[in-house]
Structure 1
Amino acid sequence: MGKNSKDKRDMYYRKAKEQGFRARSAFKLLQLNDDFHFLDDPNLKRVVDLCAAPGSWSQVLSQKLFDGKTAEEIKDRKIVAVDLQPMSPINHVTTLQADITHPKTLKRILDLFGNEKADFVCSDGAPDVTGLHDLDEYVQQQLIMSALQLTACILKKGGIFVAKIFRGRDIDMLYSQLGYLFDKVVCAKPKSSRGTSLEAFIVCIGYNPPSDWVSTLDVNSSVEEFFSGCHMSKLSIHDKLPSWQEDERTIAKFMSCGNLESFDSDATYHLDDFKEDLNTSLDPVQSPTNPPYKKALELKRSGKLTRAV
């Protein structure tokens, strides 16, 4: 969680520090749950958090599934968090430093669940944005499809999938693809998500894949090959364009999440307006995560990384 001038004015950043969350994004999941209540289901037992680092969503999941619950209520409940980045431990959460696209990751999760399917899968992952919106939207959509492949192999029928999206001109295709696998697809914008951002969250309810389709994760298979046999495969991109025909446009229902008393993520608040002491500086709960390219930058600065001639 960065600390720039916008963060210092951001009430959600301050509240995350006060409440011990590792990032302000924890409030996004909380506000989504305020409207959809997917974490309040007493039958929710097996949860997977993809692209989980630094772990704010896993913290929320741990609180919702375990805090204040009786031993009988938490029996057989498990949370698995997956990310390529290392994560500091979280109570009741099993962390896997692994690639969500690899079949070995799928096997490890199923082993932890005793070969039972997950009830809920979420992903708050996003690429390092470049500022080129078309490129950022494309890379984000590929990340969602990677998460969706793993989800198709691990989510039980009737389960829920929640993921971050970047809304753009081609988002209709993603809505259509998800509509083949889920009974209901909703695009939601939590109040803690800045209005100036294209970020939103897709809430997919009622996993219901075709009965004759078997999902098999293979590291050597493309997205199109993975969804071969599923109706959504016809929406994939081919080398040769098929004959043109106008399809009905798919528009997902859009809703804002969070009650009227929620803070505005784009507003600046005066500290005098609040009784609690917001000037208190809290120690970070986790050291900053290291991006994969950090070591390469250090080698380049030291002159040890040179281009071959």
Structure 2
Amino acid sequence: MAATLVGTGRRRARTNGSEVRMGRSSKDKRDIYYRLAKEEGWRARSAFKLLQLDQEFNLFTGVNRAVDLCAAPGSWSQVLSRKLRGQEEKAEKGEEVKIVAVDLQAMAPLPGVTQIQGDITKVSTAQEIIRHFEGQPADLVVCDGAPDVTGLHDVDEYIQAQLLLAALNITTHVLKPGGTFVAKIFRGKDVTLLYSQLKIFFSGVTCAKPRSSRNSSIEAFVVCQNYSPPEGYVPNMSNPLLDHSYDVDFNQLDGPNRVIVPFLACGDLSAFDSDRTYPLQLHADKQYQYTPPAQPPICPPYQQACHLRKNNLLSREDALSVGPSQRPEPPAESN
């Protein structure tokens, strides 16, 4: 098979004399969930992770008030909007569904979603969430936030753990007793420490791996059910977690002395494998067509670099003189 580059940036491959247009990005060819997200109108492939978690845990049952922390670009908020507002339309009578999305970054608007551009480590953000709920606590809090990974697993796991604890902290301010908390976690050697912290506030804690999450990734999700804080506990941003006994050699204990974190794989075997490479044309009777992302990033940090590279300005002295108003929109990308 021979492939040649064309002016549009796409590739065309010739097989047995017939020409087939390939994806504009290598992600189109490589990642089936990336392609499905664009076809179904999701802003990122991560939408399927929350959908598959819901299939296993029925996260949205009875939920009228939901919070999406670290929400940008908004795929989990999309899922909440479609699922919860769909349930609201089916119900003849019921409480109005309210969804609040929080992130430091700007996010394009979504129907039925109230956006807060704020810091989840500030008590003012928690107060604003409650204000949007008219003084009522949330039924569900989700968080798909993650740091920019360095490739140093110990560092990445530590930073992700701190982000999870920050999400847990604000959750204790806004979640109702009996509510559910879902957050991303990097599974490492100290995952039992995080598990022990979560068990203080939730009677049920499960570590789950959706099928749309790559097997090659240490990413997983903690599903914490039945929020039941200790009696007399008062949420405090400056001291988010209770002091409790935790032996530094805890992870080296064997047998029944070691706390085992329940681990559950979500998504049945009929789902696509996130680590497998699929052909662009999945069905013989349906021709592949390129689909642009539902929502390109808003003011990404790499916007200027993309413009300079596209216009061959990286090595020119006048490259820095290009003003923001002269820069075109960045190429569309997705998580």
TM bucket normalised to smaller: 0.7 to 0.9
- The alpha-carbon deviation at position 291 of structure 1 amounts to 4.4
Q: Secondary structure at the match of 1:173?
A: helix
- The alpha-carbon deviation at position 54 of structure 1 amounts to 0.3
Paired position in structure 1 for 2:181: 161
In structure 1, the gaps of 5 or more residues are 237-241, 305-309
Q: Which moved more, 1:273-282 or 1:20-29?
A: 273-282
2:153 aligned partner, one-letter code? H
Q: In 1, are the aligned partners of 2:143 and 2:182 still within 8 Å (CA)?
A: yes
- The alpha-carbon deviation at position 288 of structure 1 amounts to 1.4
1:256 matches 2:272: no
Paired position in structure 2 for 1:226: 240
Evaluate the alpha carbon distance shift between residue 250 and residue 49 of structure 1 in structure 2; reply closer, same or farther with a 3 A threshold. same
1:67 aligned partner, one-letter code? G
1:79 aligned partner, one-letter code? I
- The alpha-carbon deviation at position 249 of structure 1 amounts to 2.6
- The alpha-carbon deviation at position 188 of structure 1 amounts to 0.4
The structure 2 residue matched to 1:282, chosen from 291, 295, 303, is: 291
1:148-169 Cα deviation digits (max 9, x unpaired)? 1000111011100000000111
1:172 matches 2:192: yes
1:98 aligned partner, one-letter code? G
1:157-212 Cα deviation digits (max 9, x unpaired)? 11000000001111110011101110011000001000000000000011111011
User: Following the alignment from structure 2 to structure 1, what is the Cα–Cα distance between the partners of residues 219 and 56?
Assistant: 18
Q: In 1, are the aligned partners of 2:29 and 2:277 still within 8 Å (CA)?
A: no
Paired position in structure 1 for 2:231: 211
1:17 matches 2:38: yes
Q: In 2, are the aligned partners of 1:66 and 1:74 still within 8 Å (CA)?
A: no
- The alpha-carbon deviation at position 67 of structure 1 amounts to 2.3
TM score, norm. by length of structure 2? 0.78
2:152 aligned partner, one-letter code? L
- The alpha-carbon deviation at position 252 of structure 1 amounts to 1.3
Overall identity of the aligned pairs, in %: 51
Evaluate the alpha carbon distance shift between residue 122 and residue 244 of structure 1 in structure 2; reply closer, same or farther with a 3 A threshold. closer
Q: In 1, are the aligned partners of 2:28 and 2:280 still within 8 Å (CA)?
A: no
1:27 matches 2:48: yes
Evaluate the alpha carbon distance shift between residue 55 and residue 250 of structure 1 in structure 2; reply closer, same or farther with a 3 A threshold. same
User: Following the alignment from structure 1 to structure 2, what is the Cα–Cα distance between the partners of residues 295 and 124?
Assistant: 27
- The alpha-carbon deviation at position 273 of structure 1 amounts to 3.9
Paired position in structure 1 for 2:98: 78
User: Following the alignment from structure 2 to structure 1, what is the Cα–Cα distance between the partners of residues 158 and 26?
Assistant: 29
- The alpha-carbon deviation at position 7 of structure 1 amounts to 4.8
Paired position in structure 2 for 1:100: 120
Q: Secondary structure at the match of 1:82?
A: strand
Q: In 1, are the aligned partners of 2:49 and 2:210 still within 8 Å (CA)?
A: yes
- The alpha-carbon deviation at position 70 of structure 1 amounts to 3.8
1:48 matches 2:62: no
User: Following the alignment from structure 1 to structure 2, what is the Cα–Cα distance between the partners of residues 132 and 244?
Assistant: 23
User: Following the alignment from structure 2 to structure 1, what is the Cα–Cα distance between the partners of residues 56 and 305?
Assistant: 43
TM score, norm. by length of structure 1? 0.84
Paired position in structure 2 for 1:266: 275
1:63-121 Cα deviation digits (max 9, x unpaired)? 11112624745632100000011111111111111111111111110100011110000
- The alpha-carbon deviation at position 290 of structure 1 amounts to 3.5
User: Aligned pairs, how many?
Assistant: 285
Evaluate the alpha carbon distance shift between residue 294 and residue 250 of structure 1 in structure 2; reply closer, same or farther with a 3 A threshold. farther
User: Following the alignment from structure 1 to structure 2, what is the Cα–Cα distance between the partners of residues 13 and 146?
Assistant: 29
Q: Secondary structure at the match of 1:180?
A: helix
1:199 aligned partner, one-letter code? E
Q: In 2, are the aligned partners of 1:173 and 1:235 still within 8 Å (CA)?
A: no
1:250-294 Cα deviation digits (max 9, x unpaired)? 221111101221000011123444257462222332221444687
Evaluate the alpha carbon distance shift between residue 278 and residue 148 of structure 1 in structure 2; reply closer, same or farther with a 3 A threshold. farther
User: Following the alignment from structure 1 to structure 2, what is the Cα–Cα distance between the partners of residues 139 and 276?
Assistant: 47
The structure 2 residue matched to 1:137, chosen from 152, 157, 166, is: 157
User: Following the alignment from structure 2 to structure 1, what is the Cα–Cα distance between the partners of residues 101 and 285?
Assistant: 33
2:74 aligned partner, one-letter code? G
Q: In 2, are the aligned partners of 1:31 and 1:190 still within 8 Å (CA)?
A: yes
Paired position in structure 2 for 1:239: none
Evaluate the alpha carbon distance shift between residue 200 and residue 7 of structure 1 in structure 2; reply closer, same or farther with a 3 A threshold. farther
In structure 2, the gaps of 5 or more residues are 1-23, 308-313, 323-335
Q: Secondary structure at the match of 1:150?
A: helix
2:104 aligned partner, one-letter code? L
Q: Which moved more, 1:59-68 or 1:150-159?
A: 59-68
Paired position in structure 2 for 1:117: 137
User: Following the alignment from structure 1 to structure 2, what is the Cα–Cα distance between the partners of residues 105 and 278?
Assistant: 47
User: Following the alignment from structure 2 to structure 1, what is the Cα–Cα distance between the partners of residues 155 and 297?
Assistant: 26
Q: In 1, are the aligned partners of 2:29 and 2:278 still within 8 Å (CA)?
A: no
